[in-house]
Amino acid sequence: MTIKEKAIKGTFLLGAGRMTDRALQFLRNIIVARLVSPEDFGIAALFVMTVSFLEMFSNLAVDTFLVQSPHGDKPRFQQTSQLMMAVRGSLIALILLLFAGPVARLFDIPAATWAFRLLAVVPLIRGLAHQDMSRAQRQLNFKPVLITDVSSQFISALLAWPLAAWLGDYSAILYLIIVQTLSRTVISHFMAERSYTWGWEPIHARAMISFGWPLLINGILLFLIMQGDRFVIGAADNLFARETYSKAQLGFYSAAFVLAAAITEGISSVISPVILPLLARAQDVQEQFQKRCRFCIHTAAFILSPLGIIFILVGGWFLVLVYGNKYLAAAPLMAWLGATQSIHLFRVASTTIALSKGDSLNPTVCNIFRGLSFVLAFIFAARGADIVWIAASGLLGELLAIGASIGMLRYRLAIPIQYFLKPLILSLSGLILATLFWNTGLSQASPVFAFLAAVALSIVVASLFLLFSTEFRKEILIMIKPLLARIKPEIN
């Protein structure tokens, strides 16, 4: 099987698996959100935020380096990575135990101190996961990681209704997170080919630290990007010494964010693992590398445009359909959060290109620009602005980050800016047209009309994209011809 055939097969397999994984996680959140109050759902979001902060703050991207490094197949390299992950998880757990009380008071929920202490088992268990899942991806073998992720999410989703119905508050999410983490770690060991052992090789450890230290700094920035807005909303009363946003509003915001992120994260989790090995294999062959770069960029842009259009025009209706009428107040947030999440896919493509060349500084620099949205959100919250302005601040930050990432690729890796301009302009044009239509209020009158308008506009933009992107159109035809050849005999 050729590399391209492996990539195509891996794309479909990974796509189906990641979508299933995200769908199960999303199903779990829907079940809990419908059975608990928006306020409890907002408090549960603070648990996720706390663990995310500590994990992002200590993230050396060891699993990514295991795929990218030429030494990733060596047993000693893997053993070193597993030891580093275990130590990291233990340190995060210790920090959570020590600072559970202050964190609970910061968010003005002192009664939940016990929950923050119990949350410490999550990073501890996660740090013991087997890294054979990452090693297998070097050969475009995604089955181990997909079976592990999907199975653990299935167990968590299966227990969501009985736990949420029985407990009826934020503790349901806490226990479900623990169950999912424990299941994933246990299954990762069953799926591994090698035995789980720790080892220490200073040369490999230094290489991991050298690769990961920019991403360590990036962890703080990533927290501000992914969780900073909800941190401001959750801690606003203590930060500004007055009542600013309620925990119910945090629940509304979190529900909208989870809905938007569930879809885009599922897509980005397919793009990056498939494109990274393909680009890394061609990193020393300039012509082939740049051709794969162009395909990566065009693919991200081609996906984000219809996705963003649908978020803007239909997102509010879909949110109410999913969560119920008690989350109606979150509907206006979907246009901003959905557009921001869809545009983020373009940055996933640009940073994946950088990482394939071992340039881990690129995501750090562009996230500095993305982090400016946190400053803007902080200012809006301090002035007591409507919560929709906090959502809108993320869009500006994402555009700044994309510009920074493209600039870094141009000056560090000699990737021409022209590769990005046409797909980016076409994609953003579709989002602008959708925003103008949304502002007329017509899409808010009827969900059916909004959906038809979104589909029509998406088809128009996709057609223009294929019309003006000749090379991308040819690559797509090459990929679908074998599928059409298989379908034709079956029809006959």
What pLDDT, in 10s, does the model give residues 201-239? Answer: 888 888 888 887 766 776 777 777 778 888 888 888 787
Residue 487 has pLDDT above 70, yes or no: no
Instruction: Give the Cβ contact number of residue 473 at 10 Å.
Output: 14
* Residues 56, 229: Cα–Cα separation, whole Å: 16
- pLDDT reported for residue 366: 85
The DSSP secondary structure of 31-55, one letter per residue, reads: HHHHHS-HHHHHHHHHHHHHHHHHH
Residue 6 has pLDDT above 70, yes or no: no
* Residues 308, 139: Cα–Cα separation, whole Å: 33
- pLDDT reported for residue 15: 66
Report the share of the chain in percent with pLDDT over 90.
16
Cα angle 323, 329, 335 (rounded to 5 degrees) comes to 85
Contact of 429 with 461, CB cutoff 8 Å: yes
What pLDDT, in 10s, does the model give residues 98-153? Answer: 999 998 988 888 899 999 999 999 999 999 999 888 888 777 777 888 889 899 99
The amino acid at 50: T
> Which tokens hold the place of 457?
């506009």
Instruction: Give the Cβ contact number of residue 272 at 10 Å.
Output: 19
- pLDDT reported for residue 297: 84
Q: How confident is the model at residue 164 (pLDDT cuts 50, 70, 90)?
A: very high
Structural domain boundaries in the chain: 1-225, 227-492
Distances (CA, A) of 394 to 50, 193, 225, 480: 20, 42, 8, 36
CA 294 to chain centre: 22
- pLDDT reported for residue 158: 94
* Residues 102, 50: Cα–Cα separation, whole Å: 12
User: Of 45-54, 404-413, 451-460, which range is least confident?
Assistant: 45-54
Residue 285 has pLDDT above 70, yes or no: no
Q: How confident is the model at residue 155 (pLDDT cuts 50, 70, 90)?
A: very high
CA 1 to chain centre: 31
* Residues 326, 40: Cα–Cα separation, whole Å: 13
pTM confidence score? 0.76
Compute the radius of gyration of the chain from its Cα atoms.
22
- pLDDT reported for residue 486: 60
The DSSP secondary structure of 351-392, one letter per residue, reads: HHHHHHTT-THHHHHHHHHHTHHHHHHHHHHHTT--HHHHHH
User: Of 101-115, 269-283, 284-298, which range is least confident?
Assistant: 269-283
Contact residues for 50 (Cβ-Cβ < 8 A; gap 6+):
96, 103, 116, 119
Residue 378 has pLDDT above 60, yes or no: yes
Residue 321 has pLDDT above 60, yes or no: yes
Residue 157 has pLDDT above 90, yes or no: yes
Residue 3 has pLDDT above 60, yes or no: no
- pLDDT reported for residue 293: 80
- pLDDT reported for residue 273: 67
- pLDDT reported for residue 115: 92
* Residues 304, 144: Cα–Cα separation, whole Å: 28
DSSP letter at 69 equals S
* Residues 48, 39: Cα–Cα separation, whole Å: 15
User: What is the overall mean pLDDT for the chain?
Assistant: 83
Residue 489 has pLDDT above 60, yes or no: no
**Which of 108-117, 280-289, 360-369 has the largest mean confidence?**
108-117
Of 284 and 334, more confident: 334
Residue 455 has pLDDT above 60, yes or no: yes
Q: How confident is the model at residue 166 (pLDDT cuts 50, 70, 90)?
A: very high
Distances (CA, A) of 452 to 178, 306, 459: 41, 13, 11
Residue 330 has pLDDT above 80, yes or no: yes
Report the share of the chain in percent with pLDDT over 70.
88
Residue 282 has pLDDT above 90, yes or no: no
- pLDDT reported for residue 187: 94
Distances (CA, A) of 62 to 84, 204, 231, 343: 8, 11, 27, 27
Q: How confident is the model at residue 448 (pLDDT cuts 50, 70, 90)?
A: confident
Of 309 and 212, more confident: 309
What pLDDT, in 10s, does the model give residues 412-442? Answer: 888 888 888 888 888 888 898 888 888 877 6
Of 374 and 61, more confident: 374
Which of 207, 192, 198, 202 is closest to 71 using CA atoms?
Answer: 207
- pLDDT reported for residue 152: 93
